[in-house]
Amino acid sequence: MTSITTARVHDLPGPLRPRAWLTRALVDRAVAGLPVRVLYPDGEVRGVGGPDDPAVRIVRPASFFDHLGRNPKMGLGEAYMAGDWTVAEGTDLGELLTPFAARLPTLLPRPLTRLRGVVDQRIPRRLRNTVSGARANVSAHYDLSNDLFARFLDPTMSYSSALFDGAPPYAGQSLEEAQRRKIDRILDLAGVTEGTRLLEIGTGWGALAIAAARRGAQVTGVTLSHEQLGFAKSWVAEADLDDRVDLRLQDYRSVRGEYDAIVSVEMIEAVGEEYWPEYFSTLDRLLAPGGRIAVQAILMDHDRLLATRNSFSWIQKYIFPGGLIPSRQAIEESLAANTRLRIVADDRFGPHYAETLRRWRQRFDEQWPRIRPLGFDETFRRMWELYLAYSEAGFASGYLDVGQLQLTRGPE
């Protein structure tokens, strides 16, 4: 292990910032047991990886360690956006990040993790998911451009995990077919058939609503994204399903009525812990007797949720403002405290999300020449490249999971 006092910091010119000095030593320590290589400009190599293992190239060490030293939670992502580090030739960014994600809870020495409160930023109050705040948070991501999303998503415009057939490898399978399988699976879980009164919370670009309407359901869909709503309404009209699908720009909290089935695909991540009680009590209030709810949710272990829920992350700052991934335990506790609902089925498929994200990232890279003219610069490209790879690594390593949860109402 490299000690703090003997760490080589000659590549940090001028008076050393203490945090940057410490950060260099911590980075060297973190990679000491990982199958990766860290390549410095002076030819030094750290990590135990061999020539065939992933390698990261530090382009501007002084700036890189300054970013990390000033804000460890934001620094890695901001340094990538700035071009301070990149992958070595022949290395895939998702494959590079996966070993780090697998050991994320233990990368730092335990005494330093106890100092989390000293360096963590609190989540800004402006990102709270009040009615107005939720609309602003959703708009910041989903209203970027329908054309942007159309460049890298499959023809269903599904922006959530696909469900592939069987176990890996998935290479020969169509992403579009896997997305349609996911949609059919969650509609089955909610019991959507002819005549079902279905509410979809977070309707996206409309693929699920159309699939449900083609089953004969009467669909109400709500979203906070102007861009998604316009696209989805046009798609519904083209499918000649206006009589079966009612799409609205509406907060879930203001929905009224009674529904035989409620479906929500990867929307709970945008609710925020403060509003989980209201979210679940709304589901309970809107569900007809004997009805079913199907929620597709990204999930993390409960101890990781407890450790990170109050700190401001790079993902929250740059990608999903107001977002928070729940744990199953947190969902169960909120259901028990605020509703008569309970989880009766939990189908997990985390590796499928890793594959979904890998394909989105590959398509994003391929389509960048067509995305850039939409008004996005090189910093945006690097930001989204890292976001997609970082997320992929989370699912590939098991740090994150995704599941379709079936909820029903317990005995009165």
The DSSP code sequence of 94-156 is HHHHHHHHHTGGGSS-HHHHTTHHHHPPBPPGGGS-SHHHHHHHHHHHHTS-HHHHHHHS-TT
Of the listed ranges 71-80, 196-205, 263-272, 381-390, the least confidently predicted one is 71-80
Contact 3, 63 (CB under 8 A): no
| pLDDT over 70 at 391, yes or no | yes
Q: What is the mean pLDDT of residues 259-276?
A: 98
* Structural contact between residues 96 and 54, judged by C-beta atoms closer than 8 angstroms: yes
> What is the chain's mean pLDDT, rounded?
91
Quick one: pLDDT at residue 11?
42
pTM: predicted TM-score of the whole model, two decimal places: 0.92
Kindly provide the b/e burial profile for residues 341-364, where b requires at least 16 CB atoms within 10 angstroms of the residue's own CB: bebeeeeebbbbbbbbbbbbbebb
Whole-number pLDDT of residue 169: 87
Report the pLDDT averaged over residues 102-115. 58
Q: How many CB atoms lie within 10 A of CB 10?
A: 8
Distance between CA 395 and CA 388 in Å, rounded?
A: 11
Residues 323-334: what's their mean pLDDT?
A: 98
* CA neighbor of 190 nearest in space, from 99, 264, 297, 252: 264
In 3-state terms, what secondary structure has residue 403? strand
Written as six digits, the tokens of 407 are 């909820």
H or E element at residue 184: helix 175-190
Length of the chain equals: 412
Residue 202: CB atoms within 10 Å: 25
Query: Would you place residue 23 in the very low, low, confident or very high pLDDT band (cuts 50, 70, 90)?
Result: confident
pLDDT for 52: 92
Residue 14: pLDDT band (50, 70, 90) is very low
* 8 Å CB contact between 81 and 387: no
Helices marked H in 34-92: 61-70, 72-82
pLDDT at 110: 52
Domain boundaries, the chain: 18-119, 127-409
Q: What is the dihedral of CA 55, 60, 65, 66, to 10 degrees?
A: -150
Q: Which is higher by pLDDT, 31 or 132?
A: 132
Q: What is the CATH code of the structural domain delimited by 127-409?
A: 3.40.50.150
pLDDT at 25: 80
pLDDT at position 260 over 60: yes
**Distances, alpha carbon 284 to alpha carbons 288, 338, 339, in Å:** 9, 9, 6
Here the tokens at position 282 are 């709304």
Residue 243 one-letter amino acid: D
The pLDDT score that the predictor gives to residue 119 is 56
Query: Phi and psi (nearest 5°) for 170?
Result: -105, 5
User: Residue 331 CA to chain centroid, in angstroms?
Assistant: 17
Query: What are the DSSP E strand ranges found in 13-113?
Result: 37-39, 45-46, 55-58, 85-87
> Which pLDDT score is estimated for 288?
98
Query: Span 388-392, mean pLDDT?
Result: 98
User: How open is the CA angle 277-280-284, to the nearest 5 degrees?
Assistant: 130
Predicted confidence (pLDDT) per residue in 175-208, tens digit: 999 999 999 999 999 999 999 999 999 999 999 9
- For residues 291-318, give the mean pLDDT: 95
Task: Write out pLDDT tens, residues 395-410.
Answer: 999 999 999 999 999 7
Determine the residue type at 29.
R
Tokens of 198: 């279905």
Predicted confidence at residue 248, as pLDDT, reads: 98
Amino acid at 362: Q
Question: Looking up tokens 């060297």, which residue turns up?
Answer: 28
- Residue 115's pLDDT band, with cuts at 50, 70 and 90, is very low
Whether the pLDDT of residue 338 is over 90: the answer is: yes
Report the DSSP pairing between strands 259-265 and 197-201: parallel
φ/ψ (deg, to 5) at 12 = -110, 95
Report the pLDDT averaged over residues 335-352: 97
Q: Which of 21-35, 90-104, 184-198 has the lowest mean pLDDT?
A: 21-35
